[in-house]
Copies of this chain bind each other. A is one copy, B any other.
Amino acid sequence: MKDFEFCIPTKIVFGKNRVTEVAGHAKDYGSKLLLVYGMSSIKKTGVYDKVVTALKKEGLKIIEHPGVKSNPVLSHVKKGISLAKNENVDMVLAVGGGSVIDESKAIAAGACYDGDVWDFFEDKESIKEALPVLTVLTISATASEMNNVSVVTNEEKKQKFGFGDDHFYPRVSVLDPTVLYSIPANYSAYSGVDAIIHALEGYFTHEDRWLPIQDRYVEGIVRTLMESTDIILEKPDDYEGRATFMWAATLAFNGLGTTGVEGASVPSHMFAHILGAYYDIAHGAALSIIVPAWMKYKYKENLKQFVRFAENVFDIKKSDDEETALAGINALEGWFKKIGAPVSFKDAGLPEDELDTLADSIIELSELWDIEGYPKPVIIDILRLCL
């Protein structure tokens, strides 16, 4: 096990009909807040009204910053920072999913900094101070509600950068599973894919790992995410299904599963980001196409861990290791299909003749993200496995 430091100071408030409790916690951090949210969905579901009413009841002054995009963009982050500075808010309250929370974190840091907030993302400057961030989670997948990561896209520079900083940990995150009831089936499925891939980020690192705590933690989370997704798709308002999914998705990427793990393994986000940039495809859908292909390309380099995956996540045990590994990959792919997530370009209706252009963009991103081992022929081979 590698040396590590671990601390998640975020307070999780979890349970049925608890969204209004955020107001009581917000009061601990001041009297004026920037309310950050996305488009109209929190108004449709009633979460907006519940939260705003509760905040007003506590005497909190609300400055609104709506319109966060599903990949938060720097220009909108900067608008939020100006608002936060001009209005002198005490904290940032994110009501939404990963994008809203990521943008809120960037605003919280930018509001306490005189320079350009992008300096932090380019690692030119380190965060010295940030406003407290509180969150009400309305869609599970990224675990941003309990981790220190923020990902923002600089539209001008065409860069999508993310990084972790301890100032980014939310102080309080309210997780109310009933809020998820209205998420449509396809997005529930994509959330499942996304959370599973997050959980696996540190799982396939190298052949000779002996990390039984982390491996079993991840395997348990992945099995649970699949089981609970199945329940949710059958019955969208199943409380236990939604609650289990919600807590598992948070635990999938809050850092505990990678304590002591050297490096990260699955570079699927690199591929998926480019698919998302080129085509109108949900992030989870891009992942369900990319990940099985990446696995099929890579499993021989790390056979033991892929065998372990097949055995411990899918109870598959064949006489031959390679067969077992492949059966595990097929089982994951089969599950993606079952929940309605695409597993090929064909499934998603993507053009099959632009692989070369895609590969060039993926290479560019791999350089920005410092991901090694993906020269163009490898990328093309992996993309071909996606067709």
Residue ranges of A at the interface with B (Cβ–Cβ < 8 Å): 1-16, 18, 210-213, 216-217, 219-221, 223-224, 227-228, 240, 243-244, 247-248, 251, 256, 259-260
Contact = CB atoms under 8 A, between A and B. Distances in A.
Contacts of A6: 11-12, 14
Among A2, A5, A248, max chain B CB count under 10 A is at: A5
A259 B247 contact: yes
A167 to B, nearest CB: 15
Given A1-B240, A216-B224, 8 more contacts: A3-B16, A4-B12, A4-B15, A211-B244, A216-B216, A217-B217, A217-B220, A256-B256
B12 A9 contact: no
B247 A224 contact: no
A251 B221 contact: no
A143 B326 CA distance: 40
A47 to B, nearest CB: 18
A10 B5 CA distance: 10
Contacts of A259: 14, 247
Among A6, A9, A15, max chain B CB count under 10 A is at: A6
A210 B240 contact: yes
A243 B18 CA distance: 39
Among A7, A11, A244, A259, max chain B CB count under 10 A is at: A7
Contact of A260 (B3, B8, B227, B247): B247
Nearest to A248: B213
Contacts of A220: 212-213, 216-217, 219-220
A8 B45 CA distance: 32
Given A223-B216, A224-B213, A3 B7 contact: no
A212 to B, nearest CB: 5
Contact of A12 (B5, B10, B217, B243): B5
B1 A18 contact: no
Contacts of A213: 220-221, 224, 244, 247-248, 251
A259 to B, nearest CB: 7
